[in-house]
Structure 1
Amino acid sequence: MQQPNFPFDIRDVEEHDNEELSKYFLGVGKANIQVGPKKYLLISEYKNEAANIYNMPVRSDDIFIVTYPRSGTTWTQEIVWLLASDLDYYTAANTPLQARSVFIEFSMIMHKEFLDKMKKVHAGKEENLKALDVVSTPGTVQVATMPSPRIIKTHLPMTLLPPTLLDTCKVVYVARDPRDVAVSFYHLTSSFQSFNFTGDFKTYWGLFVKDLMYWSPFFDHLKEAWEMRHHPNMMFLFYEELTQNLSATVKRVAEFLGKEYTAEQFDELCTHLKFDNFKKNPSVGIDNLKELGIMAQKGEFIRKGKSGGWRDYFDEDMTREAEEWIDKNLKDTDMRFPAV
């Protein structure tokens, strides 16, 4: 099925795969679709916004942060927002990052079945119901009212974003070793009740390498951006660059955005962004989602911020499978993940 004003087919996931997904993702159930020739796996609510996102008006001073989930997105949002906003720490501390940098397809995660369930849970609690309305408002509606410069977050691949994007505004793309991505995404989808993954990590990894994970195929997502990395409006970063040399990487982002700051200002910014400080920063957390029951109270949105932690989760067979899978997918490209 093709949506009006949207060039890609949207189809239901094949029944066998849908059964497997619904077995482990109890929150999403069978509400799964695949989009375009690469079969990007998304939640069916995406159909309502596909054309709106693809055709959204883009401003010349917009900055899009594009990542596969759990690749350092939130960290990058805070970096970019502060650099673009003249290091306005006061506003950053007093305005949630979710409002400063809208996640354009978040309403997809708030799929109808889950949203109806949440509204019943909060029946009679007007403030909570208003909060649910806010988080389920389509991202294109939210960003249309944002003042410039807009910092817009998305996990959609480049092909599903406005085709004029790179020729109009700047894009920061962040990639991360898929083994660390899988571990972090496993914890998130186990805590996010709209996904509610109930299997163990080995099961999760098995779905991940079969591209049966939301926003997958993982490597197609990365390769689309990698092929555009030489465009003057594209900055392609590896998460490992942030963990290994935060200061140098932040300065590169500043240069890309055309921003100049003193050495002292960069030192202050990097202290603010140091992961231990960042993790404790309430404005970048999602406590509001925990209060609404969208995320489990015990869940951690910002976890450890380290590279190479996957080794604590992979047995020998999984490690060998991962190496073969990565090598196979990178053999026709010069993209390589930084060693950690």
Structure 2
Amino acid sequence: MQEFKSFPFDIHDVEESDKRELSKYFLGAGKFSIQVGPKKYLLMSDYEHDAENIYNMPLRHDDIFLVTFPRSGTTWTLELVWLLASNLDYSTAAKTHDNLMESLNKKHADNPEYLKTLQAMRTPGSEQASKMASPRFIRTHLPLSFLPPTLLDSTKVVYVARDPRDVAVSYYHLSRDFQSFIFNGDFKTYWSLFIRDLVYWSPFFEHVKEAWQMRHHPNMLFLFYEELLQNMPATLQRVATFLGKEYRADQIEELSTHLKFENFKNNPAVGIYDMKEYGMMASKGEFVRKGKSGGWRDYFDEDMTREAQLWIDNNLQNTDMRFPSMQ
């Protein structure tokens, strides 16, 4: 039986000035936000009640964790990891992934209003994980330091990083459309909050660098989102090898076609349309948007571009990490 350990980081309220700014732009964010640890990760307040349970969650030998900062290709990568680990079982994938709304619809068919309030009801992450059948594919936006300390010695972890400028653009659109956020400012304002670590799960670079430092661990696979776009077949082979799987070139090609962004975006198994139906996302919103690299250039003026480059350079000065899009 594993030893239960105290959560090693302080959890505290957001500073008053930051709380006011968050409340100004995000629905309820100032009131329901906390900062955790010396890096001051900004999280939703309900995390405080589950932090110790997540830190101590029992791990299984066949677990696969997918860890990302939000809007870094999480859903897309989960699909490819699940398929590679599951012997390319496309039929089961179509039935399995993200069918939460379908089950809730059956359970509460006589009470549709209940479904529309689900966004205010969050089942603790540790409880969700404990009920999952093995092998578990667990995706999380939490940084590695908040996950069980034996994680990399016990399970396989795939981490995906993406150019922060593209992350910010994608996160901005989600924050405007997702009913739990409802950001009411323009992109320039959002970018200012992003680089000041005032969006959920930030600071961005601390999140990514925690994983980068562990990239040589045999149970860690560090991927860049841009690698998937630039050479999908080669990246799929890397993931397959990491998972101990072997596939023929034609199988990898078939998977590459399945994962082409338009095919993936229109895949009903992704479960995005249900979010709109039950009021969790604006009717015109897109959870899976464009899936490209460099789209940030359509949103940044010259001053923002210079500011972004300075911010990136400052954060990368003591590391050899470079995003493929920046090389």
TM-score under structure 2 normalisation?
A: 0.92
Q: Give 2:302's match in structure 1, choosing from 305, 312, 316.
A: 316
Aligned ranges 1:188-267 → 2 under 5 Å = 188-267=174-253
Name the % identity.
Answer: 69
| Residues 1-340 of structure 1 aligned to structure 2 (within 5 Å) | 5-97=6-98, 126-127=111-112, 129=114, 136-339=122-325
Which residue pairs with 2:105 in the alignment? none
TM-aligned CA distance change 1:130 to 1:144, over 3 Å: farther
Q: Which stretch shows the higher mean deviation, 15-24 or 47-56?
A: 47-56
Gaps of 5+ in 2: 101-107
Tell me the alpha carbon deviations over residues 30-57 of structure 1, each in whole angstroms, 9 at most, x when there is no partner.
Answer: 2110000100000111112111111111
Question: For residues 184 and 78 of structure 2, what CA distance do their matches in structure 1 show?
Answer: 29
What are the superposed Cα offsets for residues 187-227 of structure 1, whole Å, 9 maximum, x if unpaired? 00111111110000000000011111110011000110000
1:132 and 1:38 map into 2 onto residues whose CA distance is 33
Note closer, same or farther for the CA distance 1:197–1:149 as it changes in structure 2 (3 Å cut): same
In the alignment, is the contact (CA less than 8 A) between 2:116 and 2:279 conserved in 1? no
Q: Shift in Å at residue 6 of structure 1?
A: 1.2
Query: 1:97 is paired with a residue of what secondary structure?
Result: coil
Q: Deviations over 1:175-196 (max 9, x none)?
A: 0110000000000011111111
Q: Which runs of 5+ in 1 are unaligned?
A: 100-122
- CA deviations 1:259-281 (Å, max 9, x no partner) are 11122211111111111111110
Q: Partner letter of residue 273 of structure 1? A: L
- What secondary structure, in the 3-state scheme, does the structure 1 residue paired with 2:282 have? coil
CA RMSD in angstroms comes to 1.8
Classify 1:287/1:325 alpha carbon distance in 2 versus 1 (closer, same or farther; 3 Å): same
Give 1:12 shift: 0.3
